[in-house]
Amino acid sequence: MLKLIGTRLLLVVPQLLIVSALVFLLVYLIPGSAAAMILGDAGANPEAIARVEAELGLDRPFFVRLGDWVGAALQGDLGVSLQSGRPVTELIAERLPATLSLVVGGLIVAMLIGIGLGVLAGTHARRPVDRGVTAFTSLLQSVPEFWLGLILIVVFVIQLGIAPVVAWAPPTQDPGAWIRGLILPALALGAGASALIARQTRTAVAAALASRYADTLTAAGVPRRRIIWVYALKNAMVPVLAASALAVSILFGTSLVMERVFSFPGVGTLLLNAVIGRDFPVVQGTVLVVAVLIIAVNLIVDICYGIINPKARPQ
């Protein structure tokens, strides 16, 4: 296991370097001038723009700026916001708990619904129950998350009045309000991702129950419930983990929209405001932090592969 962890950690280093370079390059290619946005329409003349760009170091060559930014990012310094003048790391740290709460809640919903429906369909493969679950998961995958979120708000907040109007509450202030506010956003966010997990679970469980070892356990008198939940589901967890890692990437992207629907003060709102205001340090820092989180999730999944499946461990 130590060799597996060491190998995966070595692969993370080039990934982070490539992601950092791509993030900086994409922001560099955005048309427009940050200096012009800072100065405004009244003071944005060529001389003033050139002066501000020189003060901010925006007139330096691309590779020089890239090297400085990567070096500072490796030390935890993501720069200073051009709009507020505050450190980017401080802005992200304030909003990251809301985004992580939303993503983790959506992942829990996706795994609960996905694994439950997948086991139900896999244990009734090629039967009406299987076809019904397949149709339902196809429906979940086709419904836009933001539309489902709006429907949930209309029904449970406006019509029934059983959900809070303000969804986000810091867990340090009121844990109960934090959990209640996460129910609807997490359900809307995780519904689509649950379809992906359900399909992988269904295929893996059906294949495990059709294998020879399942027949042997049945002949030995092992209860079917135990075969399903102890043996078949354990073997099915490898593809389920792969689907969950992919779901996390999808959830991070979708959460940027869901934050607007439920008024979550998360990283997505910060990123959107930074793009509109051409606050390039905030854009770069936010995208880099999200990419690092996704890489970290994939690293954890790879390690879990080795724990569940010894064949995935390096020899």
Per-residue pLDDT tens over the stretch 41-71 = 565 667 777 777 777 677 777 788 888 888 8
Report yes or no on 82 lying in a domain.
Answer: no
The pLDDT value given to residue 36: 66
Report yes or no on 289 lying in a domain.
Answer: yes
Domain identity same for 140 and 272 = yes
Report yes or no on 84 lying in a domain.
Answer: no
- In this predicted structure, the answer to whether residue 260 has a pLDDT above a threshold of 80 is yes
First to last CA, the chain: 10
pLDDT band at residue 93 using 50, 70 and 90 as cut-offs: very high
Domain identity same for 138 and 57 = no
The pLDDT value given to residue 133: 92
Q: Could you say which of 74, 103, 133 is where a domain stops? A: 74
User: pTM, whole model, 2 decimals?
Assistant: 0.83
Domain identity same for 102 and 157 = yes
Report yes or no on 161 lying in a domain.
Answer: yes
The pLDDT value given to residue 121: 92
Report yes or no on 52 lying in a domain.
Answer: yes
Domain identity same for 278 and 129 = yes
Report yes or no on 240 lying in a domain.
Answer: yes
- For the record, the structure tokens of 48 come out as 């003033």
The pLDDT value given to residue 280: 81
Domain identity same for 232 and 262 = yes
User: In degrees, to the nearest 5, what angle opens at C-alpha 303 toward C-alphas 102 and 288?
Assistant: 45
Domain identity same for 176 and 47 = no
Domain identity same for 176 and 32 = no
Structure confidence by residue, pLDDT tens digits, 167-221: 888 888 888 888 888 999 999 999 988 998 999 899 889 988 888 888 888 888 8
Domain identity same for 133 and 190 = yes
Q: How many domains does the chain have?
A: 2
Q: Are 193 and 251 in contact (CB under 8 A)?
A: yes
Q: Could you say which of 26, 47, 74 is where a domain stops? A: 74
Domain identity same for 161 and 303 = yes
Provide the domain limits for residue 8: 2-74
The pLDDT value given to residue 186: 92
CATH of the domain at 214: 1.10.3720.10
Domain identity same for 189 and 270 = yes
Domain identity same for 105 and 61 = no
Report yes or no on 88 lying in a domain.
Answer: no
Domain identity same for 60 and 141 = no
